[in-house]
């Protein structure tokens, strides 16, 4: 009975290790600029003339599952969210705002809500360790509206925000921004290989236990 149980457990775990995917783990927030309060109706108006972004850094390969934040107020049409590369956690994008479509690693278009909402939009991409920017805007990727990014949340640390304002200076450049209370979030799950290695390790332990029991039985 003990031998059969050990073999069955090991086989089950090895099967899980071979088939596990990132979706097998529950996606959770891995980056947030502020804790949600739900008391705002949109302070920073995202549009085709005003983009808002924030830098984030990953210390290992990560499966991104969604992006979002607290939105509410000023809705009309659609806006976009795009992940772009950055050279460091404190740098601005190396391309101009008008080139965002050509430099996007992943993007999604959605309608911003009118009621205050902590929103997450599905966006699937695997990112290597490094620094990136998450940008919200309109007038690109087919987005043609605007939406309010809330500003009365409880800030976490000192996020590196940046913005683009079409009627500022040359009208096609990025600059750092102060966005106290803006909530921008990124959701993700562990890399698939991490789960496979973990379950594979459990399966290995199961087989070792089975072999040990066989050896013990032979000695007796």
Q: Quote the tokens at residue 194.
A: 């991490």
> What does the pLDDT look like over 72-84, one tens digit per residue?
877 889 999 999 9
CA neighbor of 66 nearest in space, from 111, 127, 108: 108
Q: How far apart are CA 6 and CA 10, in angstroms?
A: 6
Query: How much is the pLDDT for 44?
Result: 94
Q: Which residue has the higher pLDDT, 144 or 13?
A: 144
- Please give the model's pTM, rounded to 2 decimal places: 0.78
> What does the pLDDT look like over 145-172, one tens digit per residue?
999 999 999 999 999 999 999 987 678 9
Q: Quote the tokens at residue 112.
A: 């911003």
Query: How much is the pLDDT for 159?
Result: 98
Strand, coil or helix: 85: strand
Query: How much is the pLDDT for 171?
Result: 83
Please state which of the ranges 76-85, 175-184, 188-197 shows the lowest mean pLDDT.
188-197
Q: How far apart are CA 20 and CA 66, in angstroms?
A: 20
Q: How far apart are CA 57 and CA 89, in angstroms?
A: 6
CA neighbor of 165 nearest in space, from 44, 41, 40, 22: 44
Q: Which residue has the higher pLDDT, 110 or 208?
A: 110
Measured N-to-C along each axis, helices 2-19 and 192-219 cross at an angle, to the nearest 10 degrees, of: 160
> What does the pLDDT look like over 13-36, one tens digit per residue?
445 444 444 444 678 999 999 999
Query: How much is the pLDDT for 160?
Result: 98
Please state which of the ranges 18-32, 59-73, 135-149 shows the lowest mean pLDDT.
18-32
Work out the end-to-end distance of the chain between its first and last CA atoms, rounded to an integer number of angstroms.
Answer: 17
Q: How far apart are CA 48 and CA 107, in angstroms?
A: 16
Percent of the chain whose predicted confidence (pLDDT) is above 90: 63
Percent of the chain whose predicted confidence (pLDDT) is above 70: 74
Q: Which residue has the higher pLDDT, 72 or 119?
A: 119
Q: Does residue 55 carry a pLDDT above 70?
A: yes
CA distances from 25 to 65, 165, 190, 197, 200 (A): 11, 39, 7, 14, 16
Taking a C-beta distance cutoff of 8 angstroms, is the pair 184, 134 a contact? yes
Cα 139 to chain center, whole Å?
A: 23
How many CB atoms neighbour CB 5 within 10 A? 13
């Amino acid at each position: 009975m003990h031998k059969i149980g050990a073999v069955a457990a090991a086989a089950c775990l090895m099967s899980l290790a071979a088939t596990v995917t990132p979706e097998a783990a529950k996606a959770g927030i891995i980056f947030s600029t502020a804790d949600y309060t739900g008391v705002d109706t949109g302070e920073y108006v995202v549009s085709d003339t005003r983009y808002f972004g924030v830098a984030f850094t990953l210390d290992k390969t990560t499966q991104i599952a969604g992006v979002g934040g607290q939105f509410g107020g000023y809705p009309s049409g659609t806006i976009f969210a795009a992940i772009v590369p950055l050279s460091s956690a404190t740098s601005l994008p190396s391309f101009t705002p008008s080139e965002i479509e050509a430099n996007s690693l992943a993007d999604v278009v959605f309608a911003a809500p009118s009621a205050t909402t902590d929103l997450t939009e599905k966006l699937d991409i695997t990112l290597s360790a490094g620094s990136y920017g998450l940008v919200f805007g309109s007038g690109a990727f087919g987005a043609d509206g605007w939406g309010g990014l809330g500003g009365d949340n409880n800030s976490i640390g000192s996020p590196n925000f940046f913005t683009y304002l079409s009627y500022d200076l040359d009208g096609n450049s990025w600059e750092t921004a102060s966005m106290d209370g803006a909530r921008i979030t990124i959701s993700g799950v562990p890399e698939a290989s991490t789960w496979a290695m973990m379950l594979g390790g459990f399966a290995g332990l199961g087989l070792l236990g089975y072999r040990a029991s066989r050896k013990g039985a032979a000695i007796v």
